[in-house]
Amino acid sequence: MLKKLEDIKKRYEFLSVQLADPAVIADMGTWQRYSKEQSDLTETVEKYNEYCAVEKEMTDAFEMAETETDAEMKKMLLDEGYDCKDRLAKIKDELKILLLPKDKNDERSCILEIRAGTGGEEAALFAAELCRMYQNYCAAHRLRVEEIEISATELGGMKEAIYGVTGASAYKLLKFESGVHRVQRVPATETQGRIHTSAATVAVLPEAEEVEVEINEKDIRIDIFHSGGAGGQNVNKVASAVRITHFPTGIVVTCQDERSQLKNKERAFKVLRSRVYDFYNGQNAKAREENRRSMVGSGDRSERIRTYNFPQSRVTDHRIGLSQYNLDAFIAGDIDSMVEALAIADREAMLASSEE
């Protein structure tokens, strides 16, 4: 670990020299890339410098204690040395966390997809509640949510909703929400008071840039058709809806919310790039398939990552076995404590894996 930290410090010092070089300053692209890299290394280098300083204090204190003849002074030096030793252990743990591999997608914006699963209209109503929950959560974190494709039901439910979420660390804040969400409650349409179980699926995909995903024209088919649903005369007269099929992956994206065919096409390509990026981001076909299945599943209520139990006002995340009894606040968007608990569990799992 210390060898790796020393290499990081050398790289940081090299970048500092480069950022002061007039030739680099004149090349804005290179300067920005070096500046971003140095910024990413700063916290680790500062913590490593603290480690080295405390280690020197500890060594000096113990060495001085060995030659000290005054008993009181010797005790004081030994106490100082052991105090430094304890601090070193804490700093070392902090350095282990800083050295964990970073998710390269954490700082990206993302695509948020919510779909009704098992449960008919009740599942659609629950999907709509999840939409509102994430919109409120995003608003609290100053993330911008843009509707890309919405398919609503007559009773106010949501068959499918696709949003673009932009802002600092959007993917990092939402990535653990991917999976099947199960709800247990008495539906408004239930006359005998029986508790029903329904499900909705959530998928969070890091947004891909055009330069990262090359989509060849020969690999896609673009269909233009009339929009369905609400829209007045525009629905019947203007063919503005867009469907893009990507043959290599079999991914199909449809966008019809905008009256403008151009805007629908732009939004459809935005979703397509993110889905294709997600598809190819795995190391192999099996990893991609498992990643996608664990994220979305079939929508069956048995494939759950989280349960929202309204009679008990309880929300349980099954991945970490955490239950909270604040369902009203949670479904209103106050999900920070759960997101933080999932992030901590993920970090601890990574730490355990790195020490094996």
Structure token digits, residue 238: 């203007």
pLDDT band at 235 (very low <50, low <70, confident <90, very high): very low
Do the beta carbons of residue 121 and residue 222 sit within 8 Å?
no
Q: Which residue has the higher pLDDT, 310 or 355?
A: 310
Q: What length is written for the chain? A: 356
Q: What is the pLDDT of the chain when averaged over all its residues?
A: 86
SS3 98: helix
Q: Could you tell me the pLDDT band of residue 262, with boundaries at 50, 70 and 90?
A: confident
pLDDT band at 229 (very low <50, low <70, confident <90, very high): low
Distance CA 246, CA 220 (A): 5
Tell how far CA 122 is from the center of its chain: 27
Of 70-79, 192-201, 302-311, which has the strongest mean pLDDT?
70-79
| Confidence class for position 208, pLDDT limits 50, 70, 90 | confident
pLDDT confidence bin for 210, thresholds 50/70/90: low
Direct distance between the N- and C-terminal alpha carbons of the chain, in angstroms, rounded to an integer = 14
* Domain made up of 110-207+297-354: CATH architecture: 2-Layer Sandwich (3.30)
The CATH fold assigned to 217-280 is Double Stranded RNA Binding Domain (3.30.160)
**CA atoms of 149 and 132, how far apart (whole Å):** 15
pLDDT digits (tens, 9 = 90+) for 23-44: 999 999 899 989 988 998 999 9
**Distance from C-alpha of 57 to C-alpha of 77, rounded to nearest angstrom:** 10
Tell me what pLDDT residue 220 has: 85
pLDDT in tens, 14-25: 999 999 999 999
Reference 150, options 142, 159, 141; nearest CA is: 159
Q: What is the mean pLDDT of residues 318-346?
A: 95
Chain region(s) in the chain for CATH 3.30.160.20: 217-280
**Res 168: pLDDT:** 86
